[in-house]
Structure 1
């Protein structure tokens, strides 16, 4: 009899545990449904783009206990969400556009990143002294957090308003590549911040080169293998399964050997894009792949932008808002200066106009990578991590809201002039 009672008690606890797990999953299902409603009901996507709308809803949901208790780790963003988002962006990016504007894209993603980090870091260090004590390493850490761009909320608007392939290609291409270079730079500066020991110039340059080239090499190898394997079967379901394996395999392999998983995924996606554009035999596969990854991308983006609002809400209650506004304005100025300088000095067969450079600069909206870097700082801890988190999250929210909502009227105004 005792054994039966123990068995029933064990089964009850297992069922209770399962019910608790289901209850924990409900809020995420609700968030996904909210994302569905926003994307479905938003008929004026140019005026009210979905990503900032989702962030606003997330901020509002943060006062409801069932949502305020939700957490999302930096590991989940980096290892689960990010590879999929980067892969779909890369394989849908026409290689012909990359070849046409590669000098601009690479210059902005390398030289532009370094210039932006230095200018923003120096300004943060100088301005913060009037409001709060902040070390130079902490100032650079905030700068590198705010450097990556995420054009998901503006590229479709620019495409509809401008029909200018230079602007949309450079904005999207820069975002794909600067994610990888920003993470490498962040790793070096975070080490400086935590150990109070600045990296040597040669050491930093060597590390950047190794991590970047290593990630690209793994992406090229993975993309080539996929381009060969995809012809073994014409079953669309199996080919889509293979694309999922490719996206995550190259990422995890690159991270395992301590090179850039971000650049590995982007490179593999670009190789896949090149394969599709060169061969018409796989048109049916391209259509099926587009359908699958588009659904996955929208689902991830819905959860991500809603969670950005929920995660950011508690950090926005601080006394540094004057500093935040000042830094945000300077960040926009430095972005414009960087884009102007880099693109004017970069030789290209398709030079950009002043209007195009301005639109590229204003399209540098912050997003997923920046949030991941903030959560990484929170995990590291330290006496200044709360200040870094508060300032960074506040500027990201301003960027997502103000820049995303401003891009449509600005683009329409520039077209009319």
Structure 2
């Protein structure tokens, strides 16, 4: 990807962002994704190669850092139990349920193994923080949006361990080991988070020695990427390291309340976030724009429905089996938590990291791309009408009572 192509994509992103006056009806990521699909048919963009390294190394550290940094510390503390449960146990249950369901659905018609279906499920289980932050936060309700956002920030470690395990089993025909999985999971997640917290702690101490606000901003940018690269070099979760660093910075401003520095950081990271979102969703559209979706259309639709069903079933098990959460949240919160679990950049970054020479790679690529695209299009388009109707019904109940 050369400089002219980058500039052209930024121009497209700017035009869409500037003229999108009804963001609640047509969220920006949705428009960018559609524009990216159209760009995939334009010869000027034909040589753009969207790889896992491009998404992971350049875009995700900044996007996840700003999402974590902007996430209110008090909300994370208040809902820590439910968020952590959904991001670990909930994700594992969804992975198992979705993988088995996909195998039952697809195996009679396509040459796919149970491991292949579990590999697809591993890529479809993580909720996407980029999509959630830019779509769900605009529509509410606020508490449900905060829970989905917090879950999406923390579930990446689980999903990456699942993906690594299932891709190894799929391509190298290795046997599943529960002990190996648990050790890898604990090592990747807790070590990654610990590295992020340590680096953020040191950066915070350094901030106190620097009086110039511009250097605070520079240091925050370094923090987002250094925490990611150091963790990845140690073969643990760079994503969780970046998220932990962002959450540490959020807590720092919550406790210390340095408004001037925070305002400057908010302005800087707001621009970075917009630039990154424009590029990443356009590139995702280009990467998946010419997959043979028509040949697998019915399987994509069925897989999308299974993904939604698995999400709601696991939510019901978690939220309604524990009395505290059952009494605290209403049915509309349950609906929003389920429908807000959109897929996006994390799922597609994992997909792009697959070995393209693998068996049945076309089936896995096309099904996963198609289901993620449907998730972004359908769930983002319907989120605002659903939340608006639920709010109207809630308002009628209050007036009648």
TM-score by length of 2: 0.94
Q: Report the Cα distance in structure 2 between the residues aligned to 1:79 and 1:160, rounded to whole angstroms.
A: 28
Given candidates 204, 221, 230, the residue that maps to 1:227 is: 204
Judge conservation of contact 2:119–2:167 (CA < 8 Å) in 1: yes
Residues 347 and 278 (structure 1), Cα distance of their counterparts in 2 relative to 1, 3 Å cut: farther
> Offset at 1:130?
2.8
Alignment of 1:293-372 (within 5 A): 293-346=269-322, 348=324, 351-372=328-349
CA distance in 1, matches of 2:157, 2:293: 31
Quote the residue 2:399 is aligned against: none
Alpha-carbon separation, structure 2, partners of 1:165 and 1:183 = 28
Following superposition, the deviation at residue 156 of structure 1 comes to: 5.4
CA contact (8 A) 2:64 2:129 kept: no
Q: Which residue of 2 aligns with 1:395?
A: 371
- Please say if residues 131 and 343 of structure 2, whose CA atoms lie closer than 8 Å, have aligned partners that are also in contact: no
1:155 & 1:236 partners in 2: Cα distance? Answer: 26
CA RMSD in angstroms, aligned pairs only: 1.6
Q: Residues 257 and 380 (structure 1 numbering): CA distance in 2 closer, same or farther, change over 3 Å?
A: farther
Matched, 1:212 2:183: no
CA drift at 1:316: 3.6
Between 340-349 and 213-222, the greater mean CA deviation after superposition: 340-349
Residues 99 and 121 of structure 2 are in contact (CA less than 8 Å); yes or no, is this contact kept in structure 1? yes
Give ranges in structure 1 of 5+ residues lacking alignment. 1-20
- Indicate the residue corresponding to 2:36 in structure 1: 58
CA distance in 1, matches of 2:169, 2:334: 34
Alignment match of 1:172 (pick from 142, 146, 149): 149
What is the distance in 2 between the residues matched to 1:28 and 1:234? 35
Is the CA contact (8 Å cut-off) linking 1:131 and 1:323 kept in structure 2? Answer: no
Q: Give the Å deviation of 1:347.
A: 6.2
| Contact preservation (8 Å) 1:176, 1:266 | yes
Give the corresponding residue for 2:112.
134
Distance 1:382 1:155 in 2: 34
Partner of 2:213: 236
Q: State the partner residue of 2:67.
A: 89
Residue 254 in 1 paired to residue 254 in 2? no
1:146–1:370 contact (8 Å) kept in structure 2: yes
- Other structure's SS at 1:106 match: helix
Alpha-carbon distance between aligned partners in 1 of 2:289 and 2:134, rounded to the nearest angstrom: 27
User: Counterpart of 1:181 in 2: which secondary structure?
Assistant: helix
1:409 corresponds, among 368, 371, 385, to 385
1:187 to 164, 169, 177: 164
Whether the 8 Å CA contact 1:148–1:179 is kept in 2: the answer is: yes
Distance 1:160 1:321, change over 3 A: closer
Alpha-carbon distance between aligned partners in 1 of 2:139 and 2:34, rounded to the nearest angstrom: 24
Give the Å deviation of 1:381: 2.4
What secondary structure is seen at the aligned counterpart in 2 of 1:319? Answer: helix
Q: How many residues align?
A: 392
Deviation, structure 1 residue 300: 0.9
Distance 1:117 1:213, change over 3 A: same
How far does residue 256 in structure 1 lie from its aligned partner after superposition? 1.4
CA distance in 2, matches of 1:77, 1:121: 25
Matched residue, 1:7: none
